[in-house]
Structure 1
């Protein structure tokens, strides 16, 4: 562990989507709070993304500067660290550069590097043979990188994670951006704006709406529920930027119309505060994910006391079971429908400060 002083931290991030730049912002905030300057190294074009404008642009001029490079190789990272006399390099998405460090025989890190591995290859079970081989190679290369001098690997872990080993970890943070009372007030205003009628139970899918969130499967589960308990019992709210094709979106609406299902789609970039509010405005957050990693929606449900119905691979189901805010199933419509019905009976507790941004940042940075 280290104690930060008034010097420079170099933060390296090659992507902009999802929560990547949110993590960068959290690390910049912690560096500034610890009396440190931060230089953020991004890929060319990152400044044209809405995520950049939302998360990093407001920080510029407050001890934070940003540079852009066409390729973020180990050589480029080392050169920029030397140019800025950085005393620490942090790579919050270390899944790409981390294995490359393991491949470089005789390579030494200077200055020290801390890598956050967002996708633990051990989560992806079951997986086809080719994928298992790839995951094993990634794991071995990360282990080799961690044995190099000045390289520290930190593993991203889910809410409610309890360590039973010696691996360093950081729990995926809950980002509030408001008090709990303010978020409750936001949610009430949102209910009125979106006409979320109280005579229905509202299911919500929020964040970036991608193929991995399996909207067609959720709609099929809603159809099954409609046939079982009545078509006027549930509504589905999609709240966040739709990152699939326009025909997909039209198809969802057509399916809902065909089966007389109530669906609302708010297709726009949303802030963390808005995402928190929409989860509080909904009755159940539905996560039917084709991913193997913990997600920010689960962390929000854990902190805000929101009911969840989760369908997915064993790792995702396991993360949700630890949180305990609802029911789980395999990734199929009938199983998800059963999970939604079971979730209605849950009354989760609010754990607003359980997985804070500051704790996450301090774990990643290794601050005492």
Structure 2
């Protein structure tokens, strides 16, 4: 593959499911040439690397360069290391910055200086995870976020250090965008609710109870207390399952609960690898997503793949997606509204109506990020 250009993927943040997205990109980028991951010191020793990238690394499908300090390094350091890797290899044709919201603020300023002496400048793509794709004219908060990011992107493009910007849209959004090209968040799931009894048995969960779940990196932003309050206030016969890596604040909340609400809560405080996370989601009767970031959700995508209804609050994007795809119910971010929505999705006979054709496969997501077309002879099973 010496005549093929390399792809340099930049993601210093190993937390959450960053490296899962990197793995999707690697699987597609390696079809066209070598792939290098520029990441933070110690990333190869993390559980997330073992779960998502170790097999690809061991198979020689991705080279890993640990050269950045921390999960949010200074932008000038990122630019210098990108330039160094490009200079040393000589074959990098595309640089993909996976979480570009923070670096975008100063990339236009520091990158031209870092990249100026390269014999051949690579194409540079930034992925923005916090860019509102569709806004009402009256959404002042959204426009205050969107306009500066679009301006910074155009400034970097004018200085020839940025060539393409992509950002998440809701899975129902078929628009393409102008400055920021819209791509659908992937639906990645390996378990389905049709085997709910099997997953509950494997995970030692109650077989006959109605279960709602909060999973992944469980911080205060997940609003688990509000979900539990909603179950109690609406007098729903259901148990809240909280599983994943809990922050100290969430642990303190669990430990401080009175006996009555505590008996409605089941806690598993441990990192969940991707297959285990998928099984937890497929084992639930509903997935509440009470998050104020106005963007799509990876957990929501997994729930859609698994056929599990969601209750979403705090995001116009997720509300629009839930309605358009028949994936669940949208509500207000307050206890009574959440309780009513949970009652709706937990009612006997409630069914999601998401179609398989509505789902965005990881391969399609990765190709959209890379700006490549579907490879000949390798179509998606679910395009």
Q: If the length of structure 2 is used for normalisation, what is the TM-score? A: 0.81
- Counting only pairs closer than 5 Å after superposition, residues 176-195 of structure 1 correspond to structure 2 as 176=189, 178=190, 184-185=194-195, 187-192=196-201, 193-195=203-205
1:161 is displaced (CA, Å) by 1.9
Paired position in structure 2 for 1:56: 53
1:285 is displaced (CA, Å) by 0.7
Paired position in structure 2 for 1:12: 10
1:82 aligns with 2:87: yes
Distance 2:323 2:255 in 1: 32
* Residues 31-75 of structure 1: CA deviation (Å, up to 9, x unaligned): 22x141111100223233211222222222423111111354212
Paired position in structure 1 for 2:276: 274
Deviates more, 1:91-100 or 1:160-169: 160-169
**How many residues are matched?**
351
Cα contact 2:230–2:339 (8 A) shared by 1 = yes
1:47 aligns with 2:53: no
Distance 1:280 1:211 in 2: 23
* Residues 123-143 of structure 1: CA deviation (Å, up to 9, x unaligned): 7999998x9756643332123
Distance 1:249 1:175 in 2: 28
* Residues 101-123 of structure 1: CA deviation (Å, up to 9, x unaligned): 33459667821111111110567
Picking from 205, 222, 233, the partner of 2:231 is 222
Paired position in structure 1 for 2:64: 66
3-state SS of 2:15 partner: coil
Paired position in structure 2 for 1:175: 188
Which has the bigger relative contact order, CA under 8 A and spacing at least 6? 1
Picking from 354, 364, 367, the partner of 1:362 is 367
1:52–1:158: structure 2 CA closer, same or farther, 3 Å change rule?
A: same
1:38–1:258: structure 2 CA closer, same or farther, 3 Å change rule?
A: same
1:154 aligns with 2:166: yes
5+ long unaligned stretches in structure 2 = 374-383
Cα contact 2:170–2:318 (8 A) shared by 1 = no
1:36 aligns with 2:44: no
- Counting only pairs closer than 5 Å after superposition, residues 67-146 of structure 1 correspond to structure 2 as 67-69=65-67, 70=69, 71=73, 72-85=77-90, 86-103=92-109, 110-120=121-131, 136-146=147-157
Q: If the length of structure 1 is used for normalisation, what is the TM-score? A: 0.84
Distance 1:27 1:164 in 2: 20
1:163 aligns with 2:169: no
Picking from 330, 333, 338, the partner of 2:332 is 330
Paired position in structure 2 for 1:297: 299
Paired position in structure 1 for 2:212: 203
3-state SS of 1:335 partner: helix
5+ long unaligned stretches in structure 1 = none
Deviates more, 1:118-127 or 1:299-308: 118-127
1:142–1:21: structure 2 CA closer, same or farther, 3 Å change rule?
A: same
Picking from 349, 356, 366, the partner of 2:353 is 349
1:267–1:97: structure 2 CA closer, same or farther, 3 Å change rule?
A: same
Cα contact 1:47–1:53 (8 A) shared by 2 = yes
Root mean square deviation of aligned Cα: 3.0
1:95 is displaced (CA, Å) by 1.3
1:77 is displaced (CA, Å) by 0.9
Distance 2:223 2:135 in 1: 18
Distance 2:78 2:267 in 1: 40
3-state SS of 2:218 partner: coil
* Residues 260-319 of structure 1: CA deviation (Å, up to 9, x unaligned): 642111221112222222122110111111322211011112222211111214344334
1:259–1:63: structure 2 CA closer, same or farther, 3 Å change rule?
A: closer
Cα contact 1:304–1:352 (8 A) shared by 2 = no
3-state SS of 2:174 partner: coil
